[in-house]
Amino acid sequence: MKNAMRALALLTCLASPAAAATLCVDPSGAGGCLTTIQAAVDAAAPGDLIQIHPGLYFEGVLVPAGKDGLEIEGTDREGVVIDSSPFADRGFAGAEATFRLVAPEVKVRDLTLRNGAMGFWVEGSDAEIVRIRFRGTDAAVGIAFEADDVLVDDSEILDAASGVGIVGHRAVVRGNVFRRVTFGVTVDTVGADDLFVVNNRLDGGLEALLLSTDGVYVTRNEISRFSGIGIQAVGNNPFVHQNVIRDVLFGIFGLCIDEEIPGGNEPPECFNAYVTQNRIFGTSGGGVRFQTRAFGMRIEDNALERTGEGIVGTSPNDFFAYVQRNTVTRAGTGLDDDCFDIFVADVRHNTASQCGQAGFHTRAVDLRRNTTLDNAENGFTIDGDVGPDLAAVANEIIGNQARGNAAQGVAIIRSPYGGPYQFQVIGNTALGNRVDYCDEGENTFATGNNFPTQGTCAVLH
């Protein structure tokens, strides 16, 4: 019995993996430490921990295949500085990347990288890059990867051409700071899913977030001072929520189009796309622009102020987009641009005020309980002829209010495309406008409205 127990214990020990070792790196070699990070990587086994002591390291580091699960950490992020720029006088001629991670499940944290052409090039899946500071040059790339399940967390990328470039699935870019980067986060992955860009701060550059992929979640980011686009989400089912965008050219561009499959009869994949609860200020080119050819896109609860055009978008009559509970104030430069220029199915409970042109230029199947005030042109321009895919079909204009507009409060312009369609204008109020109501449409049914003055439709700036 005792012999059997000893044999079992021996088999258990043989089956148990060896405990991970800890290796240290110090420029002086003190305490038996290796003097370069690459030497420590070469000596390490999979799953080992490499601790880097403060110092300046001129090297580029390759973590090759077979080093799965290796952990590399600095003992002091400010004090551990790795420079992969070419310094021939120090015996180092530069590297493609400061860290090239080929092995999977590698974790790198608490380091400062400077001057290199690229901070990280990641090929192995399940990598984690945490609390890294990268200060590059005008042409540098902070972090780039062609791998799945990569985490970039709580890091800083400064003075680079590109912050994070993603080709892969299920990436998480969270809690990072980007300053003076030409392109903040870029994604170009067909069919990616569960990609999260969350709680980042981006300040200064050309384009902040360019996300061309499916299933992207863009939430709670703060974006300021970009000369191009704040957020561009192009693909099936984007979720753009609770971001704050200031002083950029264009706030949010959302495109959710399901491509038709020749001969197929599958339902659209683009559904339940959201642009919700975002705050957009000082975007000279425009606030929100969207387009969809599928069901269920929602533009809801956004607040825009001092934009060029406000909220602009289309969806064909066969599909539904919802524009609800948004507020747009002071859209348009001079006498240009509407607060809402939208041709969708459902427009409700929105507010437009002090617009450079109309508060609402629309052909909405349901235009209900919206308010528009003090605009430089019409309060509501109901446009009945903007092409066969956007024809007015039994539109209901119910319970809206237009006050203090420089032209018409409610203006129905142009005959509906293709024949005897009808506007139902019920229970609306227009007061204190130059002309409260005008109608050049066909077969309008109007009842229960409060329109003290009526006249011929005209543009009266």
pLDDT in tens, 218-248: 999 999 999 999 999 888 888 999 999 999 9
b/e burial code for range 247-278 (CB count within 10 A of at least 16 → b): bbbbbbbbbbbbeeeeeeeeebbbbebbbbbb
By residue count, the chain amounts to 461
pTM attached to this predicted model: 0.89
pLDDT band at 172; cut points 50, 70, 90:
very high
Q: Is 171 helix (H, G, I), strand (E, B) or coil?
A: coil
Containing 12, the helix (H) or strand (E) segment is helix 2-15
Q: What is the mean pLDDT of residues 96-108?
A: 95
Of 206 and 445, the one with more pLDDT? 206
* Percent of the chain surpassing pLDDT 70: 82
pLDDT in tens, 246-279: 999 999 998 776 554 344 444 445 667 899 999 9
Q: What is the mean pLDDT of residues 16-23?
A: 76
Per-residue pLDDT at 120? 96
Does pLDDT of 307 surpass 50? yes
Q: What is the mean pLDDT of residues 151-160?
A: 96
How many whole angstroms separate alpha carbon 309 and alpha carbon 290?
12
CA distances from residue 352 to 20, 313, 343, 360, 388 in whole angstroms, order as listed: 62, 16, 16, 7, 27
Does pLDDT of 190 surpass 80? no
Per-residue pLDDT at 343? 82
Per-residue pLDDT at 393? 53
Per-residue pLDDT at 294? 66
Per-residue pLDDT at 12? 45
Inter-residue contact 318 to 295 (CB < 8 Å): no
Per-residue pLDDT at 441? 73
Of 35 and 262, the one with more pLDDT? 35
pLDDT in tens, 441-455: 777 889 999 999 999
CA nearest 84: which of 137, 30, 159, 14?
Answer: 137
Query: What is the radius of gyration, based on Cα positions, of the chain?
Result: 29
Does pLDDT of 394 surpass 80? no
Q: What is the mean pLDDT of residues 81-96?
A: 68
Inter-residue contact 133 to 118 (CB < 8 Å): no
Does pLDDT of 138 surpass 90? no
- Lowest-confidence pick of 185-194, 232-241, 346-355, 426-435: 185-194
Per-residue pLDDT at 296? 75
* Cβ within 8 Å of residue 458, ≥6 positions away: 407, 408, 438
pLDDT band at 344; cut points 50, 70, 90:
confident
Per-residue pLDDT at 144? 93
Does pLDDT of 406 surpass 50? yes
* Cβ within 8 Å of residue 3, ≥6 positions away: none
